[in-house]
Structure 1
Amino acid sequence: MMCGQKTSLDDFDVEVFMDEDIKQNIEKVSNCSTPEDLADLKSHLADWIAGCGIPDIYTATLLDVMRIRGEIVSHFAFHRVASMIQQFVAGMDSCGQFWQMVKRCWKQFLPVFTNAGNKLTRNSFQDLFTIGWSPAGSNRREEEEATIFQWEWWLMAIQEHEVDHTFEELLVFITGADLLPPLGFPQSCNIDFYDQEPGMRRIPYASTCSLSLYLPRGVANEDQFKDLMNDALKGSLGFGKV
Protein backbone atom coordinates (compact mmCIF):
# COMPACT_ATOMS: atom_id res chain seq x y z
CA MET A 1 0.00 0.00 0.00
CA MET A 2 1.41 3.41 -0.97
CA CYS A 3 1.85 6.12 1.67
CA GLY A 4 -1.22 8.34 1.83
CA GLN A 5 -3.40 5.83 -0.05
CA LYS A 6 -6.90 5.68 1.40
CA THR A 7 -8.17 2.45 2.87
CA SER A 8 -11.68 1.10 3.23
CA LEU A 9 -11.48 2.00 6.93
CA ASP A 10 -11.18 5.76 6.34
CA ASP A 11 -14.86 6.31 7.09
CA PHE A 12 -15.08 3.76 9.90
CA ASP A 13 -17.33 5.09 12.67
CA VAL A 14 -15.19 4.97 15.81
CA GLU A 15 -18.31 5.45 17.95
CA VAL A 16 -18.72 1.67 17.86
CA PHE A 17 -15.77 1.43 20.25
CA MET A 18 -16.87 1.54 23.86
CA ASP A 19 -13.52 2.77 25.21
CA GLU A 20 -13.46 6.58 25.27
CA ASP A 21 -9.66 6.71 25.27
CA ILE A 22 -9.51 4.71 22.04
CA LYS A 23 -12.03 7.00 20.36
CA GLN A 24 -10.22 10.14 21.51
CA ASN A 25 -6.82 8.87 20.38
CA ILE A 26 -8.12 7.90 16.94
CA GLU A 27 -9.70 11.35 16.67
CA LYS A 28 -6.33 12.94 17.44
CA VAL A 29 -4.75 10.93 14.64
CA SER A 30 -7.55 11.94 12.27
CA ASN A 31 -7.04 15.63 13.11
CA CYS A 32 -3.29 15.50 12.49
CA SER A 33 -2.81 17.80 9.49
CA THR A 34 0.32 19.91 10.12
CA PRO A 35 3.94 19.16 11.01
CA GLU A 36 3.25 20.61 14.46
CA ASP A 37 0.28 18.25 14.91
CA LEU A 38 2.44 15.30 13.88
CA ALA A 39 5.21 16.26 16.29
CA ASP A 40 2.68 16.54 19.11
CA LEU A 41 1.14 13.19 18.13
CA LYS A 42 4.52 11.47 18.25
CA SER A 43 5.33 13.09 21.57
CA HIS A 44 2.15 11.99 23.32
CA LEU A 45 0.82 8.94 21.44
CA ALA A 46 3.74 7.30 19.63
CA ASP A 47 4.16 4.54 22.23
CA TRP A 48 0.42 3.84 22.24
CA ILE A 49 0.32 3.69 18.43
CA ALA A 50 3.39 1.45 18.34
CA GLY A 51 1.61 -0.84 20.79
CA CYS A 52 -1.15 -1.19 18.20
CA GLY A 53 1.36 -2.87 15.90
CA ILE A 54 2.51 0.27 14.05
CA PRO A 55 6.19 0.78 15.02
CA ASP A 56 6.90 3.10 12.09
CA ILE A 57 4.98 5.89 13.82
CA TYR A 58 8.33 7.22 15.05
CA THR A 59 9.47 7.92 11.46
CA ALA A 60 6.05 8.62 9.92
CA THR A 61 5.28 11.68 7.82
CA LEU A 62 1.99 13.44 7.19
CA LEU A 63 1.46 11.21 4.17
CA ASP A 64 1.29 8.23 6.51
CA VAL A 65 -1.40 9.61 8.85
CA MET A 66 -4.47 8.14 7.12
CA ARG A 67 -2.77 4.77 6.75
CA ILE A 68 -1.88 4.79 10.44
CA ARG A 69 -5.44 5.66 11.38
CA GLY A 70 -6.73 2.75 9.30
CA GLU A 71 -4.25 0.36 10.90
CA ILE A 72 -5.26 1.52 14.41
CA VAL A 73 -8.92 0.94 13.56
CA SER A 74 -8.06 -2.45 12.07
CA HIS A 75 -6.13 -3.37 15.22
CA PHE A 76 -9.02 -2.68 17.57
CA ALA A 77 -11.84 -3.79 15.26
CA PHE A 78 -10.26 -7.00 13.96
CA HIS A 79 -6.80 -8.10 15.05
CA ARG A 80 -7.15 -7.62 18.82
CA VAL A 81 -10.36 -9.68 18.94
CA ALA A 82 -9.44 -12.22 16.23
CA SER A 83 -8.42 -14.97 18.66
CA MET A 84 -11.61 -14.52 20.70
CA ILE A 85 -13.75 -14.66 17.56
CA GLN A 86 -11.95 -17.80 16.37
CA GLN A 87 -12.53 -19.43 19.76
CA PHE A 88 -16.21 -18.44 19.63
CA VAL A 89 -16.63 -19.85 16.10
CA ALA A 90 -14.83 -23.07 17.05
CA GLY A 91 -17.10 -23.48 20.05
CA MET A 92 -20.22 -22.96 17.94
CA ASP A 93 -19.01 -25.39 15.28
CA SER A 94 -18.31 -28.02 17.94
CA CYS A 95 -22.09 -28.31 18.23
CA GLY A 96 -22.88 -29.90 14.89
CA GLN A 97 -21.23 -27.16 12.79
CA PHE A 98 -23.79 -24.70 14.13
CA TRP A 99 -21.83 -21.60 13.08
CA GLN A 100 -21.89 -22.79 9.46
CA MET A 101 -25.67 -22.87 9.70
CA VAL A 102 -25.63 -19.33 11.11
CA LYS A 103 -23.52 -18.17 8.14
CA ARG A 104 -25.89 -19.81 5.64
CA CYS A 105 -29.04 -18.44 7.30
CA TRP A 106 -27.62 -15.19 8.62
CA LYS A 107 -30.80 -13.18 8.07
CA GLN A 108 -32.77 -15.48 10.36
CA PHE A 109 -30.08 -15.27 13.05
CA LEU A 110 -29.56 -11.51 12.77
CA PRO A 111 -31.95 -10.64 15.64
CA VAL A 112 -30.18 -13.17 17.88
CA PHE A 113 -26.62 -11.94 17.35
CA THR A 114 -27.21 -8.22 16.91
CA ASN A 115 -29.13 -5.47 18.62
CA ALA A 116 -32.02 -4.78 16.29
CA GLY A 117 -32.67 -1.52 18.12
CA ASN A 118 -36.43 -2.01 18.33
CA LYS A 119 -37.91 0.53 20.72
CA LEU A 120 -40.28 -0.65 23.41
CA THR A 121 -43.86 0.53 23.09
CA ARG A 122 -46.76 0.60 25.53
CA ASN A 123 -48.28 -2.53 24.00
CA SER A 124 -45.05 -4.51 23.82
CA PHE A 125 -44.23 -3.53 27.40
CA GLN A 126 -47.67 -4.49 28.70
CA ASP A 127 -47.42 -7.87 26.99
CA LEU A 128 -44.45 -8.76 29.20
CA PHE A 129 -46.57 -8.90 32.37
CA THR A 130 -48.83 -11.31 34.18
CA ILE A 131 -50.91 -9.70 36.94
CA GLY A 132 -51.34 -11.47 40.25
CA TRP A 133 -54.99 -10.61 40.88
CA SER A 134 -56.90 -11.28 44.07
CA PRO A 135 -60.18 -13.22 43.69
CA ALA A 136 -62.78 -11.45 41.57
CA GLY A 137 -65.38 -9.55 43.57
CA SER A 138 -63.16 -9.04 46.60
CA ASN A 139 -62.32 -5.62 48.04
CA ARG A 140 -58.67 -6.22 47.29
CA ARG A 141 -59.50 -6.95 43.63
CA GLU A 142 -61.30 -3.61 43.33
CA GLU A 143 -58.30 -1.81 44.82
CA GLU A 144 -55.94 -3.66 42.46
CA GLU A 145 -58.04 -2.73 39.44
CA ALA A 146 -57.83 0.93 40.50
CA THR A 147 -54.04 0.69 40.67
CA ILE A 148 -53.77 -1.08 37.31
CA PHE A 149 -55.93 1.61 35.71
CA GLN A 150 -53.34 4.16 36.88
CA TRP A 151 -50.51 1.87 35.74
CA GLU A 152 -51.94 1.72 32.23
CA TRP A 153 -52.43 5.50 32.21
CA TRP A 154 -48.80 5.94 33.28
CA LEU A 155 -47.55 3.67 30.49
CA MET A 156 -49.52 5.76 28.01
CA ALA A 157 -47.98 8.91 29.51
CA ILE A 158 -44.52 7.43 28.94
CA GLN A 159 -45.35 6.67 25.31
CA GLU A 160 -46.68 10.18 24.79
CA HIS A 161 -43.60 11.68 26.51
CA GLU A 162 -45.77 13.29 29.17
CA VAL A 163 -43.54 12.00 32.00
CA ASP A 164 -39.77 12.06 32.36
CA HIS A 165 -39.24 8.31 32.06
CA THR A 166 -38.74 5.71 29.33
CA PHE A 167 -39.80 2.09 28.94
CA GLU A 168 -36.11 1.13 28.90
CA GLU A 169 -35.60 2.82 32.26
CA LEU A 170 -38.61 1.00 33.67
CA LEU A 171 -37.37 -2.30 32.24
CA VAL A 172 -34.03 -1.85 34.01
CA PHE A 173 -35.84 -1.15 37.28
CA ILE A 174 -37.86 -4.37 37.02
CA THR A 175 -35.49 -6.80 35.29
CA GLY A 176 -31.98 -5.32 35.35
CA ALA A 177 -31.91 -5.41 31.51
CA ASP A 178 -32.12 -2.29 29.33
CA LEU A 179 -33.49 -4.18 26.32
CA LEU A 180 -35.45 -7.35 25.63
CA PRO A 181 -33.31 -10.50 25.27
CA PRO A 182 -33.42 -11.88 21.70
CA LEU A 183 -35.08 -15.07 22.95
CA GLY A 184 -37.17 -13.29 25.57
CA PHE A 185 -37.05 -13.60 29.34
CA PRO A 186 -37.12 -17.11 30.82
CA GLN A 187 -40.49 -16.32 32.37
CA SER A 188 -43.12 -13.62 32.19
CA CYS A 189 -42.70 -10.53 34.32
CA ASN A 190 -45.14 -10.21 37.21
CA ILE A 191 -47.13 -7.42 38.78
CA ASP A 192 -48.04 -8.13 42.38
CA PHE A 193 -49.56 -5.90 45.02
CA TYR A 194 -49.08 -4.82 48.61
CA ASP A 195 -51.15 -2.86 51.12
CA GLN A 196 -50.10 0.55 52.33
CA GLU A 197 -49.84 0.57 56.11
CA PRO A 198 -51.78 3.37 57.87
CA GLY A 199 -49.64 6.48 58.24
CA MET A 200 -46.90 5.02 56.01
CA ARG A 201 -45.89 5.75 52.42
CA ARG A 202 -44.24 2.74 50.83
CA ILE A 203 -43.07 3.27 47.26
CA PRO A 204 -43.30 0.60 44.53
CA TYR A 205 -40.38 -1.82 44.40
CA ALA A 206 -39.06 -4.61 42.22
CA SER A 207 -37.20 -7.90 42.40
CA THR A 208 -34.97 -8.30 39.35
CA CYS A 209 -34.35 -11.95 40.25
CA SER A 210 -38.01 -12.91 39.98
CA LEU A 211 -38.85 -10.22 37.36
CA SER A 212 -41.53 -8.86 39.67
CA LEU A 213 -42.93 -5.37 40.17
CA TYR A 214 -44.86 -4.62 43.35
CA LEU A 215 -47.49 -1.87 43.30
CA PRO A 216 -49.65 -0.54 46.16
CA ARG A 217 -53.33 -1.39 46.10
CA GLY A 218 -55.96 1.30 45.90
CA VAL A 219 -54.08 4.12 44.15
CA ALA A 220 -56.84 5.91 42.24
CA ASN A 221 -55.21 9.31 41.73
CA GLU A 222 -53.00 10.03 38.71
CA ASP A 223 -50.72 12.48 40.48
CA GLN A 224 -50.30 10.14 43.45
CA PHE A 225 -49.35 7.20 41.23
CA LYS A 226 -47.02 9.40 39.16
CA ASP A 227 -45.24 10.61 42.31
CA LEU A 228 -44.88 7.07 43.66
CA MET A 229 -43.36 5.74 40.45
CA ASN A 230 -41.10 8.77 40.06
CA ASP A 231 -39.73 8.30 43.60
CA ALA A 232 -39.29 4.56 42.99
CA LEU A 233 -37.33 4.98 39.74
CA LYS A 234 -35.28 8.01 40.71
CA GLY A 235 -34.49 6.71 44.17
CA SER A 236 -33.53 3.13 43.29
CA LEU A 237 -29.88 2.13 43.63
CA GLY A 238 -27.95 -1.04 42.94
CA PHE A 239 -28.98 -4.52 41.90
CA GLY A 240 -31.63 -6.75 43.39
CA LYS A 241 -34.65 -5.82 45.41
CA VAL A 242 -35.03 -2.07 45.80
Structure 2
Amino acid sequence: MFQLVHRVSGALQRFREGMKTLGVLDAIRMHPDAFRPLFCHEPSPLTADVLERSAVGRNKRRPEECVVAFWRDYLLDVEEQEGPLQLGGILAFTTGANDIPPLGFSPLPSVVFLHELPLRQGRHLPPANTCINCLRLPVLKKFEDFKETMDFALKNTQGFGQE
Protein backbone atom coordinates (compact mmCIF):
# COMPACT_ATOMS: atom_id res chain seq x y z
CA MET A 1 0.00 0.00 0.00
CA PHE A 2 2.80 2.40 0.88
CA GLN A 3 4.78 1.73 -2.34
CA LEU A 4 1.81 2.06 -4.68
CA VAL A 5 -0.34 4.72 -3.05
CA HIS A 6 1.18 6.74 -0.22
CA ARG A 7 4.69 7.15 -1.66
CA VAL A 8 3.49 8.66 -4.95
CA SER A 9 0.36 10.43 -3.76
CA GLY A 10 2.15 13.78 -3.33
CA ALA A 11 3.52 13.71 -6.88
CA LEU A 12 0.14 12.74 -8.30
CA GLN A 13 -1.57 15.53 -6.36
CA ARG A 14 0.88 18.12 -7.77
CA PHE A 15 0.36 16.71 -11.29
CA ARG A 16 -3.43 16.99 -10.86
CA GLU A 17 -3.14 20.62 -9.65
CA GLY A 18 -0.95 21.46 -12.63
CA MET A 19 -3.49 19.96 -15.03
CA LYS A 20 -6.28 22.02 -13.41
CA THR A 21 -4.38 25.27 -14.04
CA LEU A 22 -5.25 25.48 -17.72
CA GLY A 23 -8.46 23.45 -17.56
CA VAL A 24 -6.82 20.36 -19.03
CA LEU A 25 -8.01 18.08 -16.23
CA ASP A 26 -11.66 19.04 -16.89
CA ALA A 27 -11.18 18.38 -20.62
CA ILE A 28 -9.65 14.98 -19.87
CA ARG A 29 -12.59 14.10 -17.62
CA MET A 30 -15.11 15.16 -20.29
CA HIS A 31 -13.34 13.41 -23.24
CA PRO A 32 -11.20 10.58 -21.84
CA ASP A 33 -11.04 8.65 -25.13
CA ALA A 34 -9.61 11.67 -26.98
CA PHE A 35 -6.71 11.93 -24.49
CA ARG A 36 -6.05 8.19 -24.12
CA PRO A 37 -3.28 8.07 -26.82
CA LEU A 38 -1.39 10.80 -24.94
CA PHE A 39 -1.28 8.89 -21.67
CA CYS A 40 -1.58 5.20 -22.64
CA HIS A 41 0.63 3.34 -25.08
CA GLU A 42 -1.24 1.28 -27.66
CA PRO A 43 1.01 -0.93 -29.77
CA SER A 44 0.38 -0.78 -33.49
CA PRO A 45 -0.79 -4.03 -35.07
CA LEU A 46 1.91 -6.26 -36.47
CA THR A 47 1.51 -6.75 -40.23
CA ALA A 48 3.45 -8.44 -42.99
CA ASP A 49 4.42 -5.04 -44.36
CA VAL A 50 5.97 -4.06 -41.03
CA LEU A 51 8.00 -7.25 -40.88
CA GLU A 52 9.07 -6.95 -44.51
CA ARG A 53 10.27 -3.39 -43.96
CA SER A 54 12.25 -4.49 -40.92
CA ALA A 55 14.19 -6.96 -43.07
CA VAL A 56 15.12 -4.39 -45.72
CA GLY A 57 18.77 -3.49 -45.56
CA ARG A 58 20.02 -6.83 -44.34
CA ASN A 59 23.02 -7.93 -46.35
CA LYS A 60 21.88 -11.56 -46.29
CA ARG A 61 18.36 -10.99 -47.59
CA ARG A 62 19.05 -11.50 -51.32
CA PRO A 63 20.77 -14.91 -50.93
CA GLU A 64 18.04 -15.98 -48.50
CA GLU A 65 15.35 -15.11 -51.05
CA CYS A 66 17.15 -17.31 -53.59
CA VAL A 67 17.22 -20.19 -51.08
CA VAL A 68 13.48 -19.77 -50.43
CA ALA A 69 12.90 -20.14 -54.18
CA PHE A 70 15.17 -23.21 -54.22
CA TRP A 71 13.25 -24.65 -51.25
CA ARG A 72 9.88 -24.18 -52.97
CA ASP A 73 11.17 -25.76 -56.18
CA TYR A 74 12.67 -28.63 -54.20
CA LEU A 75 9.38 -29.32 -52.43
CA LEU A 76 7.54 -29.34 -55.77
CA ASP A 77 10.11 -31.76 -57.20
CA VAL A 78 9.74 -34.10 -54.22
CA GLU A 79 5.95 -33.92 -54.39
CA GLU A 80 5.96 -34.93 -58.07
CA GLN A 81 8.43 -37.82 -57.88
CA GLU A 82 7.72 -41.35 -56.80
CA GLY A 83 10.44 -42.97 -54.77
CA PRO A 84 12.18 -43.14 -51.40
CA LEU A 85 12.08 -39.40 -50.76
CA GLN A 86 8.62 -38.01 -50.07
CA LEU A 87 7.18 -34.97 -48.33
CA GLY A 88 6.56 -37.11 -45.22
CA GLY A 89 10.30 -37.80 -45.08
CA ILE A 90 11.08 -34.09 -45.11
CA LEU A 91 8.50 -33.52 -42.36
CA ALA A 92 10.00 -36.36 -40.32
CA PHE A 93 13.51 -34.96 -40.79
CA THR A 94 12.37 -31.54 -39.54
CA THR A 95 9.87 -32.46 -36.82
CA GLY A 96 10.24 -36.17 -36.07
CA ALA A 97 6.65 -36.83 -37.25
CA ASN A 98 5.76 -38.44 -40.58
CA ASP A 99 2.30 -36.85 -40.65
CA ILE A 100 0.79 -33.65 -39.36
CA PRO A 101 -0.65 -34.34 -35.88
CA PRO A 102 -4.43 -33.83 -35.43
CA LEU A 103 -3.85 -30.74 -33.28
CA GLY A 104 -1.03 -29.42 -35.47
CA PHE A 105 2.50 -28.63 -34.41
CA SER A 106 3.58 -26.59 -31.44
CA PRO A 107 5.75 -24.75 -32.22
CA LEU A 108 4.98 -24.46 -35.90
CA PRO A 109 7.69 -25.78 -38.23
CA SER A 110 10.07 -23.06 -39.35
CA VAL A 111 13.00 -22.56 -41.67
CA VAL A 112 16.15 -20.58 -40.93
CA PHE A 113 19.23 -20.07 -43.05
CA LEU A 114 22.63 -21.63 -42.58
CA HIS A 115 25.21 -19.01 -43.57
CA GLU A 116 28.21 -20.62 -41.89
CA LEU A 117 30.92 -22.20 -44.00
CA PRO A 118 30.77 -25.98 -44.47
CA LEU A 119 32.97 -28.25 -42.38
CA ARG A 120 34.32 -29.94 -45.49
CA GLN A 121 34.59 -28.37 -48.90
CA GLY A 122 31.51 -29.20 -50.96
CA ARG A 123 29.38 -30.43 -48.01
CA HIS A 124 26.94 -27.99 -46.52
CA LEU A 125 24.34 -30.29 -44.98
CA PRO A 126 21.07 -28.96 -43.57
CA PRO A 127 20.66 -29.68 -39.85
CA ALA A 128 17.24 -29.90 -38.21
CA ASN A 129 16.17 -29.36 -34.62
CA THR A 130 13.15 -31.58 -33.98
CA CYS A 131 12.61 -30.10 -30.51
CA ILE A 132 11.63 -26.74 -32.00
CA ASN A 133 10.58 -28.04 -35.45
CA CYS A 134 13.23 -26.00 -37.23
CA LEU A 135 15.11 -26.80 -40.43
CA ARG A 136 18.28 -24.86 -41.29
CA LEU A 137 18.65 -24.54 -45.05
CA PRO A 138 22.12 -24.10 -46.52
CA VAL A 139 22.65 -20.89 -48.46
CA LEU A 140 23.93 -22.07 -51.83
CA LYS A 141 24.15 -20.28 -55.15
CA LYS A 142 22.90 -23.00 -57.53
CA PHE A 143 19.72 -25.05 -57.36
CA GLU A 144 21.56 -28.21 -58.44
CA ASP A 145 23.90 -27.92 -55.43
CA PHE A 146 20.95 -27.23 -53.13
CA LYS A 147 19.00 -30.23 -54.46
CA GLU A 148 22.00 -32.56 -54.21
CA THR A 149 22.72 -31.46 -50.64
CA MET A 150 19.10 -31.80 -49.52
CA ASP A 151 18.74 -35.22 -51.19
CA PHE A 152 21.92 -36.49 -49.55
CA ALA A 153 20.91 -35.26 -46.09
CA LEU A 154 17.33 -36.53 -46.25
CA LYS A 155 18.12 -39.93 -47.75
CA ASN A 156 20.93 -40.68 -45.28
CA THR A 157 19.23 -40.07 -41.94
CA GLN A 158 17.94 -42.68 -39.51
CA GLY A 159 14.72 -40.84 -38.57
CA PHE A 160 14.46 -41.98 -34.93
CA GLY A 161 14.65 -45.63 -35.98
CA GLN A 162 11.45 -45.48 -38.02
CA GLU A 163 11.07 -47.35 -41.30
TM-score, scaled relative to structure 2: 0.58
Confirm or deny that 1:208 pairs with 2:124.
no
Cα distance in 2 for residues equivalent to 1:158 and 1:177 = 17
Confirm or deny that 1:233 pairs with 2:143.
no
Q: 1:157 to 1:238 in 2, by over 3 A?
A: closer
Q: For residue 135 of structure 1, what is the amino acid of its counterpart?
A: A
8 Å Cα contact 1:158-1:164 kept in structure 2: no
SS at match of 2:106: coil
Partner of 1:167: 87
Counterparts of 1:158-197 in structure 2, within 5 Å, are: 158-161=78-81, 165-197=85-117
Cα distance in 2 for residues equivalent to 1:167 and 1:192 = 18
Structure 1 residue 193, shift from structure 2 partner: 1.0
Number of equivalent positions: 105
Structure 1 residue 237, shift from structure 2 partner: 2.9
User: Which consecutive unaligned segments of at least 5 residues does structure 2 have?
Assistant: 1-53
- The C-alpha deviation readout for 1:178-221, integer Å capped at 9, x for no partner, is 1111111122111011114176322011011110000112x232
Cα distance in 2 for residues equivalent to 1:215 and 1:151 = 8
Q: For residue 71 of structure 2, what is the amino acid of its counterpart?
A: W
Cα distance in 2 for residues equivalent to 1:148 and 1:197 = 19
- The C-alpha deviation readout for 1:51-106, integer Å capped at 9, x for no partner, is xxxxxxxxxxxxxxxxxxxxxxxxxxxxxxxxxxxxxxxxxxxxxxxxxxxxxxxx
SS at match of 2:60: helix
Partner of 1:118: none
Partner of 1:150: 70
User: Which consecutive unaligned segments of at least 5 residues does structure 1 have?
Assistant: 1-133
Q: For residue 230 of structure 1, what is the amino acid of its counterpart?
A: D
Structure 1 residue 155, shift from structure 2 partner: 0.7
Q: For residue 87 of structure 2, what is the amino acid of its counterpart?
A: F
Counterparts of 1:105-116 in structure 2, within 5 Å, are: none
Structure 1 residue 164, shift from structure 2 partner: 5.1
Confirm or deny that 1:223 pairs with 2:144.
yes
Q: For residue 152 of structure 1, what is the amino acid of its counterpart?
A: R
Identity over aligned residues, as a percent? 36
Cα distance in 2 for residues equivalent to 1:138 and 1:178 = 35
TM-score, scaled relative to structure 1: 0.40
8 Å Cα contact 2:91-2:99 kept in structure 1: yes
Structure 1 residue 173, shift from structure 2 partner: 0.5
RMSD: 2.2
Cα distance in 2 for residues equivalent to 1:178 and 1:162 = 17
